[in-house]
Amino acid sequence: MIDFSVLEIIALLALAFTTSWILTGIMRKVAIKLDITDRPDESRKQQKEPIPYFGGLGIMISLVLLVTSGVFVLDLSPELQQDIFYLFIPAVILGLIGLWDDIKNLSPQFRLMIQILMGLAGSLTITFGSTTGSITGNATLDLLISIFWIVGITNAVNFFDNMDGGAAIACFITSLGFSAYGFLTGQPYIGIFGLLLLGVLAGFFIWNRRPARIYMGDSGALFLGMLLATIAVRIDPVADSRLVSFAIPILFLALPILDTTVVVINRLRNGRSPMQGGRDHLSHRLASIGIRHRIVLVRFAVIAALFQIPIFLTLFTSSALELAMIVIGLLTFLHLFFRFIRIPVHYSD
């Protein structure tokens, strides 16, 4: 067991924040020098001037440096070191593919193929590794569900990266939930990952808040999506019901799942490809009814936190009540889905 005092937790957060803040600033200068920027157009990209990418590279390098340093400093078992290695390698590879996409604009088919391959790699370690139990009791079905989950969440986080600070806020609240749940349930492995992610995302947010001075790009969104999806299912749920255990990762990442669900269903309903761009995400819908950018971010943070409340209530209730808590969380999801999908949107290609 790895125990941390309050002062050590604050020090870790400060170290993660400072590392990310410095490296993101460096990556911004590099991107500007290499002219790797997101340029405005007349449809979806309406910023006033080109915004440099490479924010995701700052996130990725910061987290890898921090975790690698921790592996050397802390007295971790060989099994835990191996688990950390298996957790990071697919996420880093996917982040580098995202970086390539930011520079060269790869085809959607190639990106999806790589995501499936990395999802398979992550799923194999999840299904047959030592850090999580079986979802269904059947290894083959577990593997297929894990691949679908990883690819789906990776794309959901990428979809959600459509406004200044939006994806950073969503991932920050998820990381906060991971950290709290990990420490409360005696899973320091999860708690520390969540803690480091908190600091790294906070450091990045300083540069990404409106008006954004750097974007995370596909490199950051794919890296974070893969990492969060994998960590979520490595959590050992403290629950009596398999249904509750299955729902906990979904509620941790319910906000980007909600955005993707609304967008995909609405586009299919209107005869459009789900992969085709448009100003029809949750952020665009809230902006269309006159809600200011800062308030949109606050609402996203509140919604993401609300989804997590039932998760933590299950820690202090009976088996019957814990199922009721999860049902409340899922009903909240449905309520918000119908609220958002009724807001009119404007499509732009």
Question: What is the Cα–Cα distance from 250 to 236, expressed in whole angstroms?
Answer: 14
According to the model, what pLDDT value does residue 173 have?
97
Is residue 40's pLDDT more than 80? no
Q: Where in the sequence is the domain holding 253, given as residue range(s)?
A: 6-341
Q: Does a structural domain hold residue 268? A: yes
Q: Which of 35-49, 73-87, 106-120, 276-290 has the lowest mean pLDDT?
A: 35-49
What whole-number percentage of the chain has pLDDT above 70? 88
| Average model confidence (pLDDT) across the chain | 86
Helix (H, G, I), strand (E, B) or coil at 51: strand
Q: Cβ contacts of residue 69 below 8 Å, gap of 6+?
A: none
Least confident among 70-79, 96-105, 160-169: 70-79
> pTM value?
0.90
Over residues 269-292, the mean pLDDT reads 87
Residue 106 CB coordination number (10 Å): 15
Q: Dihedral through CA 60, CA 62, CA 64, CA 66, nearest 10?
A: -160
Q: Is residue 347 part of a domain?
A: no
CB 65 within 8 Å of CB 242: no
Tell me how far CA of residue 34 lies from CA of 53, 54, 260, 302, 315, in angstroms.
10, 11, 32, 38, 50
pLDDT of 129 = 54
How do residues 171-205 score in pLDDT, each as one tens digit? 999 999 999 999 999 888 888 889 999 999 999 99
Whether 127 shows a pLDDT value over 80: the answer reads: no
Residue 260 has pLDDT above 90, yes or no: yes
State the Cα–Cα distance between residues 134 and 156, nearest whole angstrom: 24
Residue 68 lies in a domain: yes
Of the listed ranges 90-99, 129-138, 139-148, 211-220, the one predicted with least confidence: 129-138
Mean pLDDT of 302-320: 88
The reply to whether 1 falls in a domain is: no
Can you tell me which residue has the tokens 């398999």?
Answer: 242
User: Based on the structure, what is the number of domains in the chain?
Assistant: 1
User: Which H/E stretch holds residue 227?
Assistant: helix 217-234
Residue 14: other Cβ atoms inside 10 A: 13
**pLDDT score of 128:** 56
What confidence category does residue 297 fall into, taking pLDDT thresholds of 50, 70 and 90?
very high
Task: Determine the pLDDT at residue 349.
Answer: 44
* pLDDT exceeds 90 at position 252: yes
Averaged pLDDT for residues 223-233? 92
Q: Answer whether 272's CB lies under 8 Å from 278's CB.
A: yes
What pLDDT was estimated at residue 106?
80
Q: How far apart are CA 231 and CA 249, in angstroms?
A: 9
Which pLDDT score is estimated for 337? 95
Instruction: Report which DSSP code applies to 279.
Output: B
Give the Å distances, CA to CA, from 218 to 9, 100, 159, 292, 346: 30, 9, 10, 26, 24
| HSE of 260, CA atoms in CB hemisphere, 13 A | 20
pLDDT of residue 72: 61
- DSSP 3-state of 292: coil
- 348 found inside a domain: no
Q: Diameter of the chain by CA atoms?
A: 59
Q: Is the pLDDT of residue 79 over 60?
A: yes
Query: Which of 30-44, 145-159, 256-270 has the least mean pLDDT?
Result: 30-44
Per-residue pLDDT for 97 more than 80?
Answer: yes
User: Does residue 349 lie within any of the structural domains?
Assistant: no
Q: State phi, psi for 38 to the nearest 5 degrees.
A: -100, 115
Identify the bridge partners of residue 37 per DSSP, sorted by sequence position. 52
Closest Cα to residue 346, out of 295, 275, 292, 272? 272
* Start-to-end C-alpha separation, the chain: 52
List, for residues 6-26, the tens digit of each pLDDT value.
787 888 899 999 999 999 999
